Amino acid sequence: MLSINIPVYNIEVNNLVLQLLEQAKKLDVSYEIRVYDDGSKNEYKISNRIISEYSNVVYVELEENLGRSAIRNKMGVDSIYQYLLFIDADSAIVKDNYLEMFFENTRLNLVLCGGTTYQEEKPANHQKLLRWFYGINREAVSAEIRNSKKGFIITSNNFLIEKKVFEKINFREEIKNYGHEDTLLGYDLFKNSIEIFHINNPVEHTGLEEARVFIEKTKVALESLHQITCNLLNGEKMFVEQVYFLNRYSRIIKYLPTIFLKLIFKISRGLIERNLLGKNPILFWYDFYKLGFYSTLK
């Protein structure tokens, strides 16, 4: 009845798999845990191969990297049960009834998003503060707040979907790079009248990147968002209005022409990066950095 899918790239997942196995054994349903390695370094493959010895676990090493969208689609196709639960590999289970909560809330034509949480203590490495601050303030949001923002935004690190729905509406593989493949999936589900519902059933995001890496990933994600908005969707009004960043950007450039936003960004970029890489990163400057960088894209 339940296929748990964990795509892996350069991370050890033994603890996560053991957590899920312990909970799945308590459920009165058929289940499998699929772990697909998407071209990781050999050291991670060697470490993760032990999970292939566990019952109900399918461990596969792909010969070449498929990318975030394609590997999830492949796992969905290969899964054998009615419900597909997708979890990112850099996650930890924080609730003893995590799997049970999904089953308590599921119904036909409904996608369930569990949410994300972060450790309460600041990371000792100040280079990870920016990612932690962002996660605590922007991603660790209650289900009530997430549901109040009606729309199509989902987070692909922790969601449940029916296999028959996913076979029809899945990740668009035109998105080759990191970022916003889940935003586009949510939009496609929304347009096809598939309800997205958020519950308080988070996983803890354990993979805190250092600030420099996080900033680079942010820029790649914005490039993907630009590709989605301009190339794949041709600037569809509903998409722009519902994606908070795009909505805010479109309102700002009505009063501050793009050429001036680009100029301000060019002048202030170095100072902003110094703050974001420092010991007291300010999210206001991170937000402005995103707006400024997006204005430079063509």
Using one digit for the tens of pLDDT, what is the confidence trace for 274-290?
A: 999 999 999 999 999 99
Q: CA-CA distances (angstroms) from residue 4 to 164, 242, 247, 260, 279?
A: 15, 29, 34, 48, 38
User: Domain check: are 201 and 238 in the same one?
Assistant: no
Q: Are 191 and 260 members of one domain?
A: no
What is the domain count for the chain?
2
DSSP letter at 49 equals: G
Domain co-membership, 114 together with 173 = yes
- Co-location of 144 and 195 in the same domain: yes
When the pLDDT of each residue in the chain is averaged and rounded to a whole number, the result is 94
Residues 154 and 268 in one domain: no
Q: Mean pLDDT, to the nearest integer, of 46-65?
A: 94
- Shared domain check, 285 and 160: no
C-beta of residue 115 within 8 angstroms of C-beta of residue 146: yes
Residues 158 and 238 in one domain: no
- Given 208, 235, 264, the domain boundary residue is 208
Tokens of 166: 């996913």
Classify burial at 41, counting beta carbons within 10 Å of its beta carbon; exposed 0-12, middle 13-18, buried 19 or more.
Answer: exposed
Q: What is the token pair recorded at 103?
A: 């089953």
The token pair that represents 146 in the structure block: 């997430």
Gap between the Cα atoms of 14 and 294, Å rounded: 38
- How many Cα atoms occupy the beta-carbon half-sphere of 197 within 13 Å? 14
170 in the same domain as 128: yes
Residue 253: per-residue pLDDT = 94
Q: Are residues 204 and 218 in the same domain?
A: no
| pLDDT band with cut points at 50, 70 and 90 for residue 101 | very high
Residue 151 has pLDDT above 90, yes or no: no
Which structural domain, as residue segments, surrounds residue 124?
Answer: 2-208
Whether 162 and 199 share a structural domain: yes
Last residue of a domain, one of 208, 223, 243: 208
Edge-first strand order for the sheet with 203-205 is: 91-93, 203-205, 116-117
Helix (H) or strand (E) holding 68: helix 68-78
Question: Which residue type occupies 16?
Answer: L
pLDDT(174) > 90: no
pLDDT in tens, 134-149: 999 999 999 999 988 7
In the listed set 145, 174, 208, which residue is the last one of a domain according to the structure?
208
d(CA 272, CA 156): 29
Smallest Cα–Cα separation from 242: which of 182, 172, 187, 164? 187
Contacts of 250 (CB under 8 A, 6+ apart): 240
pLDDT at 140: 94
**What is the sign, positive or negative, of the torsion defined by CA atoms of 131, 153, 216, 14?**
positive
Q: What is the pLDDT of residue 102?
A: 95
For the chain, percent of residues with pLDDT exceeding 90:
88
Rounded to two decimals, what is the model's pTM?
A: 0.93
87 and 226 both lie in a single domain: no
pLDDT at 150: 64
Answer whether residue 168 shows pLDDT above 80. Answer: yes
pLDDT above 90: residue 28? no
Distance from C-alpha of 185 to C-alpha of 73, rounded to nearest angstrom: 11
The band of 154, judged by pLDDT with boundaries at 50, 70 and 90, is confident
Q: Examine the pLDDT at 1 and tell me if it is beyond 70.
A: yes
In this structure, the answer to whether residues 177 and 72 fall within a common structural domain is yes
d(CA 297, CA 222): 9
Span 74-99, pLDDT tens digits: 999 999 999 999 999 999 999 999 99
**Which phi and psi angles does 7 have, rounded to 5°?**
-75, 140
At 179 the pLDDT is 85
CATH number at residue 121: 3.90.550.10
